[in-house]
Chains A and B, each alone.
Chain A
Amino acid sequence: MHEWALAEAIIAAAEKIAVKEKLREVKEVTIKVGELQQVEEDILRFALSQLKPSSFKNAEFHITKARTALRCRTCGNSWLFRRNKLDEATAEAIHFVPEVAHSYIKCPKCGSPDFEITEGRGVWLENIKGVR
């Protein structure tokens, strides 16, 4: 699954921070997942649990969902991404590469495909806590 690749990236980034901050043990990792990418939380959680190194063995992963806000550059309209407006194949394409949203989504007000994703595009590492 594609979530595995993301989980691997999250673990690698979190490990790097843990080393930099001299954490002996990581207790908490907070991850923010934008709605646009439609990451399956269960799979992501499972992948994280399988991939985590020993210094993460007691770590709790907090996954928070972030809404996806879009803003039209042509008319200035702002709106929220809604997955249920898309068919299965389109939703899946956006899941793999969120930028292809520009191929399928248009401004609901003026029809322009020139919009920006102002919030909630992908996956972010928000916070990591542990003991030195």
Chain B
Amino acid sequence: MIDPRAGVINERLKMIRRIIAVSSGKGGVGKSLVATTLALALARRGYKVGLFDLDFTSPSTHLILGVRDVQPKEEKGIVPPIVDGLAYMTLVYYSGDQATPLRGADVSNALIELLSVTQWGRLDFLIIDMPPGISDAVLDLVRFVKRIEFLIVTTSSLLAFETVKKQVSLLRDLKVPIIGIVENMKMNAARTIERETEKLGLKFLAGIPFDPQVEETIGDTAKLWNTTIANALKQIAETNVTLN
């Protein structure tokens, strides 16, 4: 017995120029906010951008975007609706507000299902918001998506950075490109993480300050656009996440 789905995944993704997973060994470091804002920043530079929420059990990007009343279209698969200029896909379309308790094998199955039926069409960038940690979702993405690249988020805490180091070593073993590291929620000007990143031989993409206004921007991307976070990601979109 053969599961036919996995074989079409790269076919589905072949018209996407760059596929970037925003990830971290740690939870709560700002992956969802960074992924969403990066997607918006790229879209507003004129690129065609998709955003895919892969945090099936605790999705957040729909809240950051303030998504309501949209559903994918069915057309030889599932066509993601356009939300704020992004082709946007999330399991929330199907799970609604219900809790979705999934074990590892279920996460893999849902991931394979969505990757094999979603028709993204032509995109310059697909940004993927990852669940925390380096287990099923990371391993499956690397297994199924040939051209995947990672952008890693950490906080200034060495507890977060320690998990990031493990993730970097895993990704290197798997020969997956790493675009660089973003240090989020910085409380001071210390450059420890920047130096540690350079020691790993990776690019330090930005230090994003802790911004107490962020909570008020949740669900309102016009407000989000005017934060220091957005400024940092506009910068990254201009210099480090480009098409050449």
* Residues of A near any B CB (own CB < 8 A): 1-2, 4-6, 8-10, 12-14, 16-17, 32, 93-94, 96-100, 102-104, 113-114, 116, 121-126
B contact residues around A5 at 8 Å (CB): 8, 76-78, 116-117, 119
Contact A97 B7 (CB under 8 A): no
Q: Of the 9-residue stretches B23-31, B97-105, B141-149, which lies at the interface with chain A? A: B97-105
Contact A99 B110 (CB under 8 A): yes
Contacts A12-B8, A12-B11, A96-B94 known; A4 to B100 CB distance under 8 Å?
no
A3 to chain B, nearest CB (A): 9
Determine how close the nearest CB of chain A comes to the CB of B164; give it in whole angstroms. Answer: 29
A-side contacts of B11, CB under 8 Å:
8, 12
Query: Footprint of A on B, CB under 8 Å?
Result: 1-5, 7-8, 11, 56, 74-78, 91, 93-96, 98-103, 106-107, 109-110, 113-114, 116-117, 119
Known: A2-B117, A4-B77, A97-B94. A102 touches B101 (CB 8 A): yes
**Would A114 and B101 count as touching, CB distance under 8 A?**
yes
Q: Is the CB of B4 within 8 A of A99?
A: no
Q: Please tell me if the beta carbons of B109 and A103 are within 8 angstroms of each other in the complex.
A: no
Pair B116/A2 contact, Cβ less than 8 Å: no
| 11 intermolecular pairs with C-beta atoms under 8 Å apart | A5-B77, A5-B78, A8-B8, A8-B11, A9-B8, A17-B2, A93-B94, A99-B100, A100-B98, A121-B109, A122-B113
Q: How far is the CA of A98 from the CA of B110 in the complex (A)?
A: 7
- Chain B residues with Cβ below 8 Å from A114 are 101
Contact A2 B78 (CB under 8 A): yes
Q: Are B4 and A12 in contact (CB under 8 A)?
A: yes
- Docked pose: A98 CA to B107 CA in angstroms: 11
Q: For residue A102, which residues in chain B have a CB less than 8 angstroms away from its CB?
A: 100-102, 106
Q: Are B116 and A9 in contact (CB under 8 A)?
A: yes
Minimal beta-carbon separation of B129 from chain A (angstroms) = 17
Q: Contacts A5-B76, A14-B4 known; list 17 others, CB within 8 Å.
A: A2-B117, A4-B77, A5-B116, A6-B4, A6-B5, A9-B8, A12-B11, A13-B2, A32-B1, A93-B96, A96-B113, A100-B100, A113-B99, A113-B101, A122-B113, A124-B4, A125-B2
**In the bound complex, do residue A13 and residue B7 qualify as a contact, i.e. CB atoms below 8 Å apart?**
yes
Chain B residues closer than 8 Å to A17, beta-carbon distance: 2
A93-B95 in contact given A2-B74, A12-B4 (Cβ < 8 Å): yes
